[in-house]
Each structure stands twice: as structure tokens, then as C-alpha cells.
Amino acid sequence: MEKEILIFGHKNPDTDSICSSLVKERLSKKLKMENVRAVRLGKINKETKYVLDYLKLQEPELVEKLEDGQQVIMVDHNEFNQSVEKIEKAKILEVVDHHRIANFETLEPLSYTARPYGCTSTILLEEYKIKNVEISKEEAILMASSIMSDTLLLKSPTTTEHDKKALEELEKIIGIDIKEYGLEMLKAGTDLNDFTAKELISLDAKSLDKNGTKFIIAQVNTVNIPDVLKRQEELENAIKEEIESKGLELFVLAITDILNSNSEIIALGNKVDAVEKGFDKKLENNRVFLEGVVSRKKQLLPNIDKNI
């Protein structure tokens, strides 16, 4: 019996990580690779749950640590500090990603596909087309959900013409009002009321390391920034615990208004000046409002990283 191959996105998975894992599993099986299985590296958020419930799909199994030599395919990430425990001991067969390449090393050659697109699923759609594989309605909804999530309905500065064209093609297969579906999906992810402060700051948090300086940029989506800021004190207490327990120099929480395309930042740590320098604004009460800033990859990370 062939060894099982696990497919997964990053820790604290978002919709692209989960849906792209499921799509890659389905594509691989259509290409006669039967021993693949999509899994997840963290709790499913409400936005992703909306997609899975819509399609009547079960959540992928949670995996917290790999066995030495486990065969894997990584999607929507490549940095080891964003991946599963013991990833460095795994046999990485393939990566499909749309992020920067950092903290990544393998012992053997592999298939590596990286594109500067807004979403991993846009890359996967190209793979379907290149390999002349028919796309089911379910697969189309999974990919469209990923694209609309990662690009905030094509309004994020990470959006490329490839993403726009991909969504147009997928909408023809799906046969529903994709924008209405996408807005309901995004709104489902903004229901934050039953999350603890610790859960909120971990929902979509990326751990980063620049020359030994560890920092986290986390993001939550909302339709009402002031409503989230009512919890600032408990959010800051949770952030301080993360800074202490993980030895961080900086923790940035972006509270992003998905309707008006703005973000309010809460920043704590020894390197908060990286935020102030990056956006030429002073923090007041550990906060700063950033008009037109919605993308961690395209707007937050580059401006902060260069000042760390």
C-alpha cells in the first residue's frame, strides 16, 4: 500500500488554506493519486465553516504533529514557522503558494509552484486547465470562496487580473450570484461575539522571523471596528501573554472593516516603532487607524518588516 500524502495549509487556517487543501486533494485524485488526504492545522473559522456547511462537507481532520518522513504537500504557505510541528522532518513533495519564500529548506528536490497572485486557488485553477481536468461545481465553489476571501471580493490590493479572470470563469461553472454568496460568506466570518480574546488574536495570526526578531501580525475581519475595540483591554492582555510566552518583539493586530476597506491597528511590544515608521503615524493608546489598508501581505507586512 502506498504511503499516505497529507495536504495542508498554514496554522490558524483561513478559507484559502482549507479550501485549497480540499481542492488539491480532489485534483490529485482525478490525476490518479489516490493516497492523498486534506487535513488542517488549526480550528476552522466561521467564514470557512459557512463554505463547508454550504457544500455539506465535513471539516478536514486536525493534525498537530507529523511523523518523521511523512509525505506532505504544502499549500498557501511555505515558512516552517507557520506550519505543523516537525515539518522539517517531513518529505515535502510539493508546494503551491502565493506568498514570499522564507525559512524554507528541503533535503530533496520537489515540485514548487509560486505565483504572485491574490490566492492559492487561482494557481490551482490554472493547474486544472493545464492538465485538462474538468472542474466540478463543488470544486468551483471551493476555489471561488478562497479567491473572494483572500481578495475581499476583489477589493484588496493583493487582487490581480488573474484572480478576477479566475472568478469570472468559476462563476460560469457555479451558476449562482457569486458576489451575493461571497458577501454572506465574509459576513459570517465577522461574527466575533463568542470568541475569547485569546481566540480572537489567534484566528488569523502569522508568525514571522526577521534575523532572529520574532513578531506576529494577526488580523480579524469585521463590519464594525468600534464594536471590536470595546474589548481593547482584554485583547491587549491576551497580546501581552503571547508576547511573553513566545518571546516576541512585536504583536500587531489588524481589525479590518471589510465593507469600507480600512483597518485599526493595535500594536504592542519593544518594536512598535516599526509600525510608526512603516506608516509614518504615531500610535495613540497603542492604536492607529490606517485608511485603505486591508492586506497583511501587500500593505502591513512590507511596511513593518522593513523597519524591524
The residue count of the chain comes to 308
Hey, how many other C-beta atoms are within 10 angstroms of the C-beta on 116? 12
CA–CA separation, 252 and 283 (whole Å): 12
Stretches where the chain sits below pLDDT 70 are: 1
In this chain, the answer to whether the domains covering 5-187 and 197-305 adopt an identical fold is: no
Per-residue confidence (pLDDT) for residue 194, from 0 to 100: 87
Mean model confidence pLDDT for the chain: 95
Class for domain 197-305, per CATH?
Answer: alpha beta
Per-residue confidence (pLDDT) for residue 267, from 0 to 100: 98
3-state helix, strand, coil in the chain (%, to 5): 40, 20, 40
What is the tens place of the pLDDT at every residue in 218-238?
999 999 999 999 999 999 999
Q: Which CATH superfamily is domain 5-187 in?
A: inorganic pyrophosphatase (n-terminal core) (3.90.1640.10)
Per-residue confidence (pLDDT) for residue 121, from 0 to 100: 98
Per-residue confidence (pLDDT) for residue 237, from 0 to 100: 98
Half-sphere CA count of 178, side-chain side, radius 13 A: 25
What is the tens place of the pLDDT at every residue in 184-202?
999 999 999 889 999 999 9
Structural domain spans, the chain: 5-187, 197-305
Per-residue confidence (pLDDT) for residue 193, from 0 to 100: 84
Closest C-alpha among 7, 10, 6 to residue 296:
10
